[in-house]
Amino acid sequence: MADLRQEIDRVARTDAKVLITGESGTGKEVVARQVYALGNRFGRPFVAVNCAGLPETLLESELFGHVRGSFTGAYRDKPGKLEVADEGTIFLDEIGEMTLRMQGLLLRFLETGEIQKVGADRTGSRVDVRTVAATNRDLRQMIAQGQFREDLFYRLNVIHLMVPALRERREDIPALAEHFMGRLSGRAEAGGARTIARDAIDLLSNYHWPGNVRELQNVIERMVVRARGEVIGAEEVPHEVRAAQKTGVPPQRERRRTVADDLYERITNERQSFWTTVYPLFMQREITRSAVRDVVRRGLQDARGNYKIVARMFNMEGEDYKRFLNFLRKHHCQPSFKEFR
Ligand SMILES: Nc1ncnc2c1ncn2[C@@H]1O[C@H](COP(=O)(O)OP(=O)(O)OP(=O)(O)O)[C@@H](O)[C@H]1O
Ligand SMILES: [Mg+2]
């Protein structure tokens, strides 16, 4: 997460459009607000629109506004959120849920900055907003399936921030747990609980968190409410978190195919090279460091921990072995060695 934090800091100072992706509950909205809070438009409006929550016509009016009489119930002119956000930031949440028609309207706005209200016969005012969009969907896949406009995708995706799943940054779990504890422990319903014991933290750190930070927050809340003493112990960790530990791996239904699985298959089955598959995607920030690490980890498992064999399995030339190791070292993509002894 240290990387992401730096990246947010850098990105916030620019005025570029940002697309935030990540699984549900990873903190995309938190990131969007940080981009705003650290940027030059701080102090100007930050207006969030959930593109999933509303039927198309209402979303259109929500974004662009409407004129009086344009539909039943439109008793007066109403400004849209884009207008309200003028000079500030518009946060388009769940952008992947927009219909194709809405995508077209949004694209037209992004190209011209002009707002056409529902029911108005000509375009109205121009506004100047920074757009930050977020989604948990795979927009590239949606493009391939004709569900998302490619031109809109490239417009929104000037800077891409990926928020990793919580299980890919377990090192953040203790601090997050403490943070949520701190926020709750002052409240009346919290009883007297103040801290979490080490073994309880360990259980939390080992769980796979399909619901990510939101799930962690809920679990802490439940533990705090039920706690009997000042210290929350391992026995107070909810059953599903403890149950997942014994098997070590997440239950089958929760294990989804990952990018790393796909890449590993392309390398091993289709005999493509690491340099033409994983490397360019990583350098263009299309995949995370942890995905690279997962690919390498799978290689190491099959090669019993021998990097030379991995290099060969990854279809590299003999002399590329050093370059491979340097790459992994430089970008911190080496899986922990303990796993392969
Ligand atoms: N770094 C963090 N520090 C504190 N709280 C966090 C952090 N990241 C996420 N949260 C909390 O976790 C919850 C989920 O975060 P958020 O709503 O930003 O996720 P999301 O990625 O937008 O999820 P969804 O895809 O379901 O909309 C929120 O309650 C948020 O406050
Ligand atoms: Mg969200």
What is the per-residue DSSP string for 53-77?
Answer: SS-HHHHHHHHHEE-TTSSTT--S-
Q: Look up the CATH number of the domain holding residue 181.
A: 1.10.8.60
DSSP 8-state class, residue 338: G
Residue whose CA is at the smallest distance from ligand 1 atom 8: 27
Tell me what pLDDT residue 326 has. 94
Statement to judge: residues 289 and 198 lie in one domain: no
Q: Is there a contact between 297 and 289 (Cβ–Cβ < 8 Å)?
A: no
Interval between CA 89 and ligand 2 midpoint (Å): 16
Ligand 1 pocket member 218 (CB < 6 A): no
Q: Which two tokens stand for residue 44?
A: 């100007």
The per-residue pLDDT for range 41-65, each reduced to its tens digit, is 999 999 999 999 788 889 999 999 9
Averaged pLDDT of the chain: 89
Q: How many domains does the chain have?
A: 3
Interval between CA 173 and ligand 1 midpoint (Å): 13
Range of the domain at 267: 259-340
Statement to judge: residues 9 and 157 lie in one domain: yes
Q: Is there a contact between 34 and 40 (Cβ–Cβ < 8 Å)?
A: no
The per-residue pLDDT for range 100-119, each reduced to its tens digit, is 999 999 999 999 999 999 99
Statement to judge: residues 26 and 49 lie in one domain: yes
Query: Of 109, 133, 164, which closes a domain?
Result: 164
Tell me what pLDDT residue 140 has. 93
Interval between CA 323 and ligand 1 midpoint (Å): 38
Lowest mean per-residue pLDDT among 25-29, 127-131, 232-236: 232-236
Q: Look up the CATH number of the domain holding residue 84.
A: 3.40.50.300
pTM (predicted TM-score): 0.74
Statement to judge: residues 146 and 195 lie in one domain: no
Q: Is there a contact between 258 and 291 (Cβ–Cβ < 8 Å)?
A: yes
- Please tell me which residue, 246 or 163, carries the higher pLDDT value: 163
Ligand 1 pocket member 50 (CB < 6 A): no
Ligand 1: which of 4, 7, 29 to mutate, judged by most atoms within 8 Å of the beta carbon? 29
Lookup result for tokens 């990793």: 164
DSSP 3-state of 161: strand
Ligand 1 pocket member 25 (CB < 6 A): yes
Question: CB neighbours of 24 closer than 8 A, spacing ≥ 6?
Answer: 136, 211, 212, 214
Task: Write the burial class of residue 95 (CB in 10 Å: 0-12 exposed, 13-18 middle, 19+ buried).
Answer: buried
Cα angle, residue 321 at apex, residues 316 and 327 outer, rounded to 5°: 100
Interval between CA 246 and ligand 2 midpoint (Å): 31
The per-residue pLDDT for range 279-312, each reduced to its tens digit, is 988 998 888 999 999 999 988 888 778 898 899 8
Instruction: Kindly report the backbone phi and psi dihedral angles of residue 144, in degrees, each rounded to the nearest multiple of 5, phi listed first.
Output: -60, -30
Statement to judge: residues 154 and 219 lie in one domain: no
CA distance linking residue 76 with residue 313, whole number of Å = 67
Query: Of 109, 144, 164, which closes a domain?
Result: 164
Ligand 1 pocket member 96 (CB < 6 A): no
**How sure is the predictor about 313, in pLDDT bands with cuts at 50, 70 and 90?**
confident
DSSP 8-state class, residue 250: P
Ligand 1 pocket member 27 (CB < 6 A): yes
Residue 135's beta-bridge partner residues?
21
Interval between CA 29 and ligand 2 midpoint (Å): 5
